[in-house]
């Protein structure tokens, strides 16, 4: 058996993820990586982003428009599979192990999904408004509900920051520019402090997250 790292990404900055897997060959992991890449692309709103690029003047999309966008989705996301290098890569335990072919747990296309023991929580995170609110992310083991909610918060912050500056969500730089235009007697440190506060308020208005214990 060999160790691999699977990296999934989209054409937009900050929308990537990394997983580890144990399998006999890279070929075995390709369908798994493809599924992970598309899930990542969908989670970050990739289909909607393509529609906006193709039809920027439209407020509502027809089935024909959606079909046209779906035909080119594969051009907007991808993945890579590399054999794990102990001398270069980070701590193996830091990553989430998605598949382990060496364990007799549950079979999927010749690979095996890692069984997660203990207390499990479903993690939900997303943006309000037209983004649809909190959506299911994954199910993981945590010591407490507080730990699960903290992880959900980290997830939603990543989502928010990936959209900042787009789709009506202002970025930190835009907050800074707005503060600077309102106040001309503040030092750079004060401007950044006010920008931090404004950015945090903007985030609070958008984010939605929670965790649910699996019974």
Q: How far is CA 5 from CA 31, 34, 83, 150, 191, in A?
A: 14, 14, 6, 26, 42
Predicted pLDDT of residue 114: 46
Token pair of 168, please? 């009506």
Helix (H, G, I), strand (E, B) or coil at 172: helix
Q: Which residue has the tokens 């060999």?
A: 2
Tens-digit pLDDT string for the chain (215 aa): 888 989 999 988 778 888 888 888 888 889 889 989 998 888 888 888 898 889 988 888 888 888 998 999 989 999 999 988 877 766 777 778 888 877 633 334 444 444 444 578 999 999 987 788 889 988 888 888 888 899 999 999 989 888 888 878 888 888 888 888 888 888 888 888 888 998 999 899 999 999 999 87
Q: Measured between alpha carbons, how far is 38 from 173 in angstroms, rounded to an integer?
A: 30
Q: How far is CA 73 from CA 70, 83, 91, 135, 138, in A?
A: 5, 27, 33, 21, 23
Predicted pLDDT of residue 170: 86
Predicted pLDDT of residue 9: 92
Predicted pLDDT of residue 92: 77
Q: At 90, which helix (H) or strand (E)? A: none
Predicted pLDDT of residue 100: 84
Predicted pLDDT of residue 149: 92
Predicted pLDDT of residue 182: 83
Predicted pLDDT of residue 85: 82
Q: How far is CA 208 from CA 17, 106, 211, in A?
A: 21, 33, 11
Q: What is the pTM of this model?
A: 0.48
The dihedrals phi and psi of 15, each to the nearest 5 degrees, come to -105, 65
């Amino acid at each position: 058996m060999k160790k691999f790292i699977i990296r999934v990404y989209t054409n937009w900055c900050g929308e990537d993820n990394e997983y580890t897997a144990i399998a006999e060959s890279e070929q075995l992991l390709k369908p798994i990586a493809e599924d992970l890449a598309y899930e990542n692309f969908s989670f970050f709103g990739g289909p909607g982003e393509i529609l906006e690029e193709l039809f920027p003047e439209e407020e509502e999309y027809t089935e024909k428009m959606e079909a046209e966008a779906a035909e080119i989705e594969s051009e907007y996301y991808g993945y890579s599979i590399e054999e794990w290098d102990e001398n270069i890569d980070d701590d193996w335990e830091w990553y989430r192990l998605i598949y382990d072919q060496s364990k007799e747990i549950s079979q999927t296309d010749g690979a095996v999904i890692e069984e997660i023991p203990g207390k499990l929580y479903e993690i939900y995170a997303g943006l309000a408004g037209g983004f649809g609110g909190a959506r299911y992310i994954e199910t993981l083991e945590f010591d407490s509900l507080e730990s699960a909610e903290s992880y959900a918060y980290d997830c939603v912050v990543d989502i928010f920051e990936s959209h900042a500056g787009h789709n009506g969500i202002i970025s930190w730089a835009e907050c800074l520019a707005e503060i600077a235009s309102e106040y001309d007697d503040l030092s750079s440190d004060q401007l950044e402090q006010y920008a931090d506060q404004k950015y945090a308020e903007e985030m609070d208005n958008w984010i939605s997250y929670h965790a649910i214990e699996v019974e």
